[in-house]
Amino acid sequence: MLNENDDVREQKSTCSFIAVIGAPNAGKSTLVNAMVGAKVSIVTHKVQTTRARVRGVLVEGAAQLVLIDTPGIFTPRRRLDRAMVAAAWEGLDGADQTLLLVDATWFSGDIETKKVAASRRAREDTMRIIDGLKESGQRAHLVLNKIDLLARDKLLKVITDLNEHGVFEETFLISAANGDGVSDLKNHLVKHAPAGPWMYPENHLSDMTDRLMAAEVTREKLFLRLHEELPYQSTVETTDWSRTKKRELRIEQTIFVSRESHKPIFLGKGGATVKAVGEAAREELQELLGEKVHLFLHVKVRENWADENARLREMGLNPVQ
């Protein structure tokens, strides 16, 4: 039953769903984590780390903002990729506001030689997103990230060039990593949140289940530990969530890999790699969950896991052809 204070808050409350889209590695998850003030999405230096939509929830006064962190939008090659890109575009459905996050260095020319090809792909992906917004008649806010890495004149040119496409309502300059400009962006989103009841409890930070969150934490550690393309050939599932006789949390997870030749690499010599990943994941899970965790990892070969509906649904994705 609502008390008098709850009635007052509900009458005055606002709630806004905000889709955060962009090319891979633009910094979407870093921004969402910074705005929520807690880790709700995993973050690595590799592209396409985020595979499914994650909702991060923050409260500012009478306003509740629901930030929809989406997978990076790129040219898909396999079924998993298509499901990720579809999930990103579906994140705009029902959104009150949309943020297109762009790494400003992609368009500035200030790119290390070894990153030129990746920057070109990111520019192409970003332009396809802008074209998609145009075709659907949707508007967005342009959020330029990593502004601390650019000189003022180059930054102004990036702003001018991107705004010429006519799909942006406002432009915000931020550095998601160090927090510059994030408060101004948050204040704007709060100010323009439509009136309505909150959709999540006040202390709710994310819509992710504990089981999926645990799998994502382990997957993050794999991305950080392994090199090149190997992490993309794997997925993690939480297969058991139970209690020991001492009522301590016991988690079992399976790391599915695409090839038999990958299994020994994920295991490492004498199991050293999977042990290190498990220890790092367990430490973070204990901090996130606030209790002792026993984590057991198993590595299994499943060649076509990225094409299996069950695997995609376990990641929070809807299978697409």
Residues forming beta bridges with residue 14, ordered by sequence position: 63, 195
78 CA to centre of own chain: 20
Report the candidate in 15, 47, 13, 50 with the shortest Cα–Cα distance to residue 32.
50
Q: What are 235-277's pLDDT values in tens digits?
A: 999 999 999 999 999 999 999 999 999 999 999 999 999 999 9
Q: Distance between CA 44 and CA 213 in Å, rounded?
A: 15
Quick check: helix, strand or coil at residue 258?
A: coil
Please state at what angle helix 272-289 crosses helix 210-225, rounded to 10 degrees. Answer: 140
CA 64 to chain centre: 19
Would you state the pLDDT for residue 110? 65
Q: Which domains does the chain have, with CATH numbers?
A: 4-191 (3.40.50.300), 210-314 (3.30.300.20)
Angle among Cα 144, 145, 147 to the nearest 5 degrees reads 90
Residue 185 has pLDDT above 60, yes or no: yes
Q: Residue 2: its pLDDT value, please?
A: 46
What is the pLDDT confidence band of residue 1, given thresholds at 50, 70 and 90? Answer: very low
